[in-house]
Chain A
Amino acid sequence: MSGVVPKIRLSGVCKAFGDKVVLDGIDLDVPARTSLVVIGGSGSGKSVLLKCILGLIEPDAGKIEIDGRDVLRMPREEQTRARAGIGMLFQNGALFDSLPVWENVAFGLLAQGKIARREARERAGEFLEQVGLAASVGDLSPAELSGGMQKRVALARAIAARPDILFFDEPTTGLDPIMGAVIDGLVVDCVKRLGSTAVAITHDMASARRIGDQAAMIHKGKIVWSGPAGRLMDSGNAMVDQFTHGRREGPIQMELRR
């Protein structure tokens, strides 16, 4: 891999909220056109990590490179442009509840001026069908949807503008197993067919193996293991083993009382 510039490269990224250290020197490479699955305990900073790359949270230290360019030290306008190509599925969906579903889905396309409003309505229907929803759902408001449906709408919104880089924060949580598999297929499709680079956070090992080329585990603010996603279940790393097999005994002591 040396010599090839990774799509995303993090080195020594640190972030603390007050005196609570969340990220403590994260080093991570995501090669172009591959998908990386990030696993880790609840509250280990996975969502914070994605938000740092997106520029929604400013890291305290470290370097974040996209296409070999250090985004943290760019002028503001350029930062915005470098990050415009990143689509994000938020953990809780984050749909705009003042807009109907179809406008949510077409929001990025409309914002970039790629299509007119009339056309957007139709295109939104197509994207909704891709995620297993009827086009007529487009006329509802997000509050009228079930949690799983909201998740799928959010997914449709994230992939609608065909971003270069895609972040998925727990894309299949809250979905039934079949729909979960459909969504996994969609994620894989984005990477393989559209050539996007994807980073997905998941707690679902089956899904992790389906969508990931690479995998990494984050614990106590550091990347403790990374390797091919196929090796997740027999990584030879005690922490990963404990996590993927869901054992209570092992090197990871869940800090239950705090």
Chain B
Amino acid sequence: MTSILDSVAAIGRAVIGACRTTGALAVFAATGLSHIFRPPFYGRMFAAALLEIGYFSLPVVALTAIFTGMVLALQSYTGFARFSAEGAVANVVVLSVTRELGPVLAALMVSGRVGAAMAAEIGTMRVTDQIDALSTLSTDPMKYLVAPRLLAGIVAMPLLVVVADILGVLGGFIVSTLKLGFNPGNYLTKTLDFVQTMDVVSGLVKAAVFGFVIALMGCYQGYNSRGGAQGVGAATTSAVVAASILILAFDYVLTEMFFAR
């Protein structure tokens, strides 16, 4: 009897803990977002975050996109050959890249790179009292540290995904024309005729949401880290894991919103 009660209590504690974390995260997100719209604005911090997320992630995102496009072309060609539908390679590549793989893979790569760095930086500031020092120097840490990063995430991710889309299609194009013997002109016409505005736009909206999620988890975990170097390490891991899972979950929700009729 007591053991049943114990396990019920344990479940209850876990549920309460989860609710509390979700609530705290929601409040954190709302506070951070509200600071984006209220002065003073920290342009330098925004520019630095934009550079970090957008510019320095370019190589990683570009390589990911190119190889993904190449593999996609190869896979769909060999797979579709089984029912003589090789001609659909161009369509498959452009559709998968713009709608799905471009934003999701770019976001996962960026979360490993940028989300972790944000959590580590803000976490270190927390455990060395730098965040406390900010508030004693007439500066709201949410406004100074968090808001610019959130905004930079929202702005930079779609830009990265535009690049990822183009390079992904290019990867497919290279493999299709050089290896699989497609006619370059035909391939491009097919790609451009087939892709619709909605495919690209939905991918960019996803990217903006993912960018927000990455920055939010990085900032939140860093901001709430405790206990020295070990705490910062744990915050970094949680930031990446949580962001990755949330990206995949939001991906489903957004896809459902855009395309399920």
Contact = CB atoms under 8 A, between A and B. Distances in A.
B138 A96 contact: no
Interface residues of B, number: 16
A161 B137 contact: yes
Interface in A76-123: 80, 83-84, 86-88, 90-92, 94-98, 107-108, 111-113
Given A96-B130, A98-B121, A108 B135 contact: no
A94 B133 contact: yes
B130 A107 contact: no
B133 A90 contact: yes
Contacts of B138: 84, 108, 111-112, 161
Chain B CB count within 10 A is highest, among A80, A90, A161, for: A90
Q: Is the interface of B mostly helix, strand, loop or mixed?
A: helix
B121 A51 contact: no
B183 interface: no
Nearest to B136: A88
Nearest to B139: A111
A88 B133 contact: yes
Chain A CB count within 10 A is highest, among B124, B135, B136, for: B136
A94 B132 contact: yes
A107 B141 CA distance: 13
A96 B133 contact: yes
B250 to A, nearest CB: 30
A51 B130 contact: no
A256 interface: no
Contacts of B139: 107, 111
A98 B40 CA distance: 20
A86 to B, nearest CB: 6
A90 B132 contact: yes
Contacts of B130: 94-97
Contacts of B128: 92, 94
A88 to B, nearest CB: 4
Contacts of A87: 136
Contact of A94 (B121, B129, B140): B129
A161 B137 CA distance: 9
Interface in B124-158: 124-125, 128-130, 132-140
B137 A90 contact: no
A84 B134 CA distance: 11
B129 A111 contact: no
Nearest to B124: A97
A96 B128 CA distance: 9
Nearest to B133: A94
A56 interface: yes
Contact of B129 (A86, A90, A98): A90
Nearest to A88: B136
A108 B128 CA distance: 18
Contacts of A94: 128-130, 132-133
Contacts of A92: 128-129
A157 interface: yes
B132 A111 contact: no
Given A92-B128, A94-B128, A98-B121, A111 B133 contact: no
Interface in A42-98: 51, 54-56, 80, 83-84, 86-88, 90-92, 94-98
Interface string B102-137: 000000000000000000010011001110111111
A164 to B, nearest CB: 13
Nearest to B125: A96
A57 B151 CA distance: 29
Nearest to B138: A111
Nearest to A51: B132
A161 B138 CA distance: 10
Contacts of A54: 132, 135-136
Contacts of A88: 132-133, 136
B40 to A, nearest CB: 8
A117 B172 CA distance: 50
Contacts of B125: 96
Contacts of A108: 137-138
Chain A CB count within 10 A is highest, among B121, B132, B137, B139, for: B137
A84 B124 CA distance: 24
A90 to B, nearest CB: 5
Chain B CB count within 10 A is highest, among A94, A97, A113, for: A94
Given A96-B125, A113-B40, 8 more contacts: A51-B132, A87-B136, A90-B132, A94-B128, A94-B130, A111-B138, A111-B139, A112-B138
| 10 nearest CB pairs, A to B | A94-B129, A94-B133, A108-B137, A88-B136, A111-B138, A111-B139, A56-B132, A90-B129, A107-B137, A94-B130
Interface of A: 51, 54-56, 80, 83-84, 86-88, 90-92, 94-98, 107-108, 111-113, 157, 161
